[in-house]
Structure 1
Amino acid sequence: IRTRAPHVRFLRIGSRMVVQMPTRVTPELCAVLEKHRVQMINIHINHPKEITPLLRRRVKLLQKAGIMMGLQTVCLKGVNDSVEVMRELFMQSIEMGVRPYYVYSTDMVEGAHHFIVPHRRMLELYEGLRGWISGPAVPTFIVDGLGGLGKLPIIPSYVREEALPDGSGTTVKCRNYAGKTVEMPGLGQDFSLPSVSN
């Protein structure tokens, strides 16, 4: 890969192999990955019950080979579409040194419609994570954009800009994870900073 595509500066692999066939992760495989300078593996785990003692040991082998580990999951109705399950999945993941990376919405493919979680529910799940578990354990929720638009984030808005009553500008209201709002006067203004010369 490196010789055929020298412009590739960061080599990342996404796979469920570590979950479905953890015994395939051997010192020999790790040596091959290290030789080819694979920098990151995103493992696909959809439920905390998939995190077994064997999986943990095999993740450690990959980490000892210098490979960063990330987690991707698909939000699946009836499987992991609860705040409790997501919190447990992401905390177990971060505790073993695997950084939660993406939560995908279910693709609109034939035979998967019964797993689709509405985007409003995905927003609720995100809100149930941010501020309630460790920040690095909160992944980005995304939808694969149809028509080649790429990955589009599904995130709530925590900032609202409003006009000041006297018309002199705007103020910004920010909401925290617990739903409390604070007004941040001045954030809605454009300020010119003085130039700095040496």
Structure 2
Amino acid sequence: MKFYTSAREAFEALGLALPPELEPVEARFPVYLNEYYLKLIDPADWKNDPIARQALPAPAELADESSSFDPLAEEEQMASPRLIHRFADRVVLLATGRCAMRCRFCFRKRAWTTGMELDDISDAELAAAVDYLRRTPAVREVLISGGDPLMLPFERFRTIVDAIAGVESIDIIRIATRIPAVWPQRIDDALCGYLRRIPGLWVATHFNHPRELSAEAEKACVRLVSAGIPVINQTVLLKGVNDDAAVLERLFRSLVALRVKPHYLFHVDPVRGVRHFATGIEKGLEILRAFRPRLSSLAVPTFAIDLPEGGGKVALQPDYTAGDGCFLDIHERKRIKYETSLCKNDGTEVY
């Protein structure tokens, strides 16, 4: 698979000249995508193309210099290097920094470097994570994330999963991956044959737009579910990409037809370099209202936000009102302020 490691390379492959206003954006937030995903872009309308907006830089990424790179306080919740422990019964293991594409809306944009391939979990870090899990039997579920764990060499990926699966108290392992959407050819029979043998293993995919469900992507999903692996999907609500009920309805109907359950629809996190994608919470609720009379509950995901300060996920329903921007954190029984400015569309342009 060919990868493009600069905006100039990507634009040239599209038959376009690199706009000079994108050079300072790339200097701060580098470009990295592969040939497969690039071919999904419509070069004739790239500024408005929902695929391009997820993969190519935009000046709006530099418009916000005040937001945190880690508003969810992940760094403060590290139980051991690479292991985030936020909820009592589950943890996140950051297995790698590798991705098949640098998504412009990434909430871990703070971790972007030019040497992504060097940023894999070490043997010592994996051993520390396993030791923590054995000492903390209340943890029953591990979400293996990154980066994208399916970008690891197969043998290394298997070593990590086997180590986690070997902890007696772990019932569920979730593999969080965007590979079916951005490099679906990587989902092969060898991988599926291995995954199906791991008890309690789920795959959590990440499709944001129906155009990402190409014939190759559909085959990848079918290959996973036909191997007996349960597959769920998370989508991020992104201004100028999928902030339209009809677009999301097409996506969710298509996923359910493939036996992939839409699990979460996330409001974008207030991360520096990402905020221009925020639709406002009320837009998400408006979309949920539109779904009620016309979309099966099988196809409707939970609309949620991640609270700042490590407050965790809160599910939102259409009867919610923005009010003073405060939400009840049911896990700690306290109120955490969520920015009122993100409850409504602030009119920021995506490009």
1:143 corresponds in structure 2 to 305
Distance 2:198 2:260 in 1: 21
1:63-102 map, 5 Å: 63-102=225-264
Query: Is structure 2 residue 182 aligned with structure 1 residue 31?
Result: no
Distance 1:131 1:72 in 2: 22
1:10 positional shift: 1.5
Distance 2:200 2:236 in 1: 24
1:71 positional shift: 1.0
Distance 1:134 1:35 in 2: 31
1:18 positional shift: 1.0
The amino acid that maps onto 2:263 is Y
The TM-score with structure 1 as length reference comes to: 0.76
1:38 positional shift: 5.3
2:81 corresponds in structure 1 to none
Query: Is structure 2 residue 233 aligned with structure 1 residue 41?
Result: no
CA contact (8 A) 1:30 1:61 kept: yes
1:131 positional shift: 2.4
Query: Is structure 2 residue 165 aligned with structure 1 residue 2?
Result: yes
SS of 1:35's equivalent in the other structure is coil
1:93-132 map, 5 Å: 93-132=255-294
Q: Specify every segment of 5 or more residues in structure 2 that has no aligned partner in the other structure, as ranges.
A: 1-163, 321-351
1:173-184 map, 5 Å: none
Identity of aligned residues (%): 34
2:224 corresponds in structure 1 to 62
1:28 positional shift: 0.4
Whose RCO is larger (CA < 8 A, sep 6+)? 2
> Number of matched residues?
157
CA contact (8 A) 1:38 1:67 kept: no
Distance 2:208 2:200 in 1: 23
Distance 1:62 1:69 in 2: 7
The amino acid that maps onto 2:216 is L
Distance 1:157 1:6 in 2: 42
Distance 1:38 1:25 in 2: 19
Aligned-residue CA RMSD in angstroms?
Answer: 1.4
CA contact (8 A) 2:171 2:200 kept: no
Greater per-residue strand proportion: 1
SS of 1:30's equivalent in the other structure is helix
Which structure is larger by alpha-carbon Rg, 1 or 2?
Answer: 1
CA contact (8 A) 1:39 1:66 kept: no
Distance 1:92 1:106 in 2: 23
CA contact (8 A) 2:203 2:231 kept: yes
Q: Specify every segment of 5 or more residues in structure 1 that has no aligned partner in the other structure, as ranges.
A: 159-198
